[in-house]
A and B are shown apart, each in its own frame.
Chain A
Amino acid sequence: MSRELSPEAQKEFDWLVTRYPQREAAMLPTLRLIEREFGCIDPEGMKLCAQLIGCSPAKVFGVVTFYTHYKRETDGENVVYVCGTLPCALRGSDALADYLCDRVGIGLGETTEDRKITIKKVECLALCDQAPVCQVEDVDWLRVSKEKADEMLESLGIPKRETAGAAAGGEEKRS
């Protein structure tokens, strides 16, 4: 069963490719389009993209796995992106990721059984001056301490632990 775009989406795609010198160059926006249409990018979606663009599915696979912000079929409702690049790593992103995983009860890259939360380590989120950084959907969490992490999890429906102290300061930034 091969997947097809809706007539409206197909129209959008037809317009999209006219804006790039080569069809292949329209891959990223096409993937966004497919993500929007089908809720995530799964292998079928990648195949569809390859077919639309006119390249091999493997090429699309490489691109999708390179970028961290495409929603995959294995992802839960909310994805917690923990930046793992150098400045964040120096400011303790490893420990932060471990803490988050421990609190949620899953491993890195895994999804909770109720498919609510996925925790992923990703490359630079471009907020190095605020390291360590997390991102949940479109919200950036800056200078994430344990307290801040608890707060972040609370927003995802995971109640704070009894022992957790008062939340420390630090502003929240919406992008």
Chain B
Amino acid sequence: MSAPAKTVETVKIKVNGKELDAPKDQPVLQTCLDNGIYIPHYCYHPALSISGNCRMCLCTASNAPKAVISCATFPAEGAEYTTESEEVKKLREIILEFLLINHPLDCPVCDQAGECDLQEFSFRFGKDDSRFEEEKNYRHTKKLGTNVRLYGNRCIVCTRCVRFCEEIAGDAELCVRERGDSNIIDTFPGIPLENPISGCVADICPVGALFVDDFVHKTRVFFLESTTSVCNMCATGCSINVDTWQGEVQRLRPRHNPDVNDYWMCDRGRVGYKYSGAAERLSRYEVGPARAGSSAGDGKAKAGPTDPPRSTRAPSDFGKALAAVSDRAERVRREHGPGAFAFVASAWMSVEEMFLFRRLATTLAGAVPGEAGPATGILAVADGEAWTPRVGGAFKIDSDRNPNRKGAEMLLLGSFISEPFSVLLDRLESGAIKFAWVVGGIPDFSPMDRFRDALGAISNVVVTDILPGPLSERATILLPAASFVEKDGVFVNGRGWAQRCRAALPPPGETRTELDLFQELLRRAGERERVLSAQGVYAELAAEVGAFADTSYKTLGALGARVTDDEPAEREPTGREAAKR
């Protein structure tokens, strides 16, 4: 849990004979967890209000006649708490026996098996048998909303999901209905669970009752390999785990990062990996002849601009494609000078890629004093109104859909891009541009007509992209790119937090990452001795770009660091945090 910066009032308590300074307004359970004393618990969640219904965290206290639930017990000066004794052990066994009374024990077909707290605690703290011989009851299995499925039988009614919907998502669509052993999580008839972060209820469900529909019966969780990374679906940049199995992403899960996303992520981000596994992914290097007839000065004269040009590209490989890029760039530079180049970066590139692309642009286009430099621009998805869903609670989803616009502003604006996009468009249409390199990497990108049509009339168009689309259709040289689950790099979110994205999978087919691609081209041009890892490139970048100075992959760590003071430092408080202030 993130410790508030202001001084925390503490009291002295003893837990299992060990003396601890316990923050006064923090439950004993959390203090124990923070100090490495594990107490099993289901209903307690650090981001949610205290419910105290599962009884799993019972411990004994010197100032109470009976065992107390440590999640709802606040420390008293000098009190002694015991979490490891025969009595507590017995209590835990009894509680677990109760919790399992109506549980179907269908672990072999349950997707939670392997990361289930019922399994875990039964193994560590439970009994090996149950005295319950009666018939178990049946509770409904249903879809609570588009993304979430409920297996009522497995539910232990800890109400984490109910509290989440009320306190974090803010719409309070869930309730516990009925009473006693027919208790069941449900929605109001006709008002399904449709808030934009509904999938989080599956993350916080300690048992196998709630699942994100996308992950039902997909993989056994114990086979998953987890990679810490950062979500690429908007400028919030939620910390995530990318879980893979057999070369495929199986799911994305939010990772606790108190400064960025707390414990949550949105539903759109949660399935934001889908395009990376799409069958139509670009995975082959293709080189075609330079487009003829591009000498026409007036771009508007082109007929049928919306028809994609027929591809004349032939399959190639990494080496040949790079050679083609170098050769064509060389020819254009000799014949037309640096003013005939256009470089268009993307707000979906990592900062390392932007850094290299910037350098590559200078290398390929060269520079002639007194003459115009290459046209430059940056591709980004416009802020969509549809993409600013109302979340009643405090969790905010950035309206900016570009994961690294902030990084692009820091690395490219001013130093590399000095003209507005309209100037780039004018120059692309002027007929003077003979070599354009466009980096896409935006999964559902539809460029504006002017840009698309202008590309179709330029003799050499190098496109680096992930999926086929209007950009790749207009490429004369096509370079497949890696998606965010396949590359290392740093992304700066809308509030200036730099976080590391890590490769969880290799890129598809022969694809090499842009990091390799750009460095290899620079190496061939004699600008670079070696092709470095993302970490090495970042070190170069940090040495050169002021805002990133004194940071490295090591200092960024798993949670990232703030690299700009432009934006408010503090995340908006959510749930219990908000209530506390």
Show the binding face of A for B, using Cβ within 8 Å. 43, 46-47, 55-62, 65-68, 123
Contact = CB atoms under 8 A, between A and B. Distances in A.
A61 B172 contact: no
A66 B188 contact: no
A60 B580 CA distance: 26
A73 to B, nearest CB: 11
B356 to A, nearest CB: 50
Contacts of A56: 166, 171-173, 175, 188, 191
Contact of B172 (A47, A55, A67, A68): A55
B187 A58 contact: yes
Given A59-B172, A68-B179, 9 more contacts: A55-B172, A56-B172, A59-B166, A60-B188, A61-B175, A61-B189, A62-B176, A65-B179, A123-B179
B188 A46 contact: yes
Nearest to B180: A123
A58 B180 contact: no
Contacts of A123: 179-180
Given A65-B179, A66-B179, A123-B180, A58 B190 contact: no
Nearest to A61: B188
A90 to B, nearest CB: 14
Contact of B175 (A62, A67, A68): A62
Nearest to A55: B172
Interface in B168-210: 171-180, 186-191
Contacts of A60: 188
Interface in B122-179: 166, 171-179
Contacts of A62: 175-177
Contacts of B166: 56, 59
21 contacts: A46-B188, A47-B188, A55-B172, A56-B172, A56-B175, A56-B191, A57-B188, A58-B172, A58-B175, A58-B186, A58-B187, A59-B172, A59-B175, A60-B188, A61-B188, A61-B189, A65-B177, A65-B178, A66-B176, A66-B177, A66-B178
Nearest to B173: A58
Contacts of B179: 65-68, 123
Q: What 7 A-B pairs have minimum CB-CB distances, sorted nearest first?
A: A62-B175, A56-B172, A58-B175, A65-B177, A57-B188, A58-B188, A61-B188
A43 B189 CA distance: 8
B191 A58 contact: yes
A60 B177 CA distance: 10
A3 B180 CA distance: 31
B177 to A, nearest CB: 4
Contacts of B175: 56, 58-59, 61-62
A57 B189 CA distance: 9
Contacts of B172: 55-56, 58-59
A47 B186 CA distance: 16
Contacts of A47: 188
Nearest to B178: A65
A89 to B, nearest CB: 11
Point out which of B172, B175, B187 has the most chain A C-beta atoms below 10 A from its C-beta. Answer: B175
Contact of B188 (A43, A67, A68): A43
A62 B183 CA distance: 10
A43 B188 CA distance: 8
Contacts of B188: 43, 46-47, 56-58, 60-61
Contacts of A46: 188
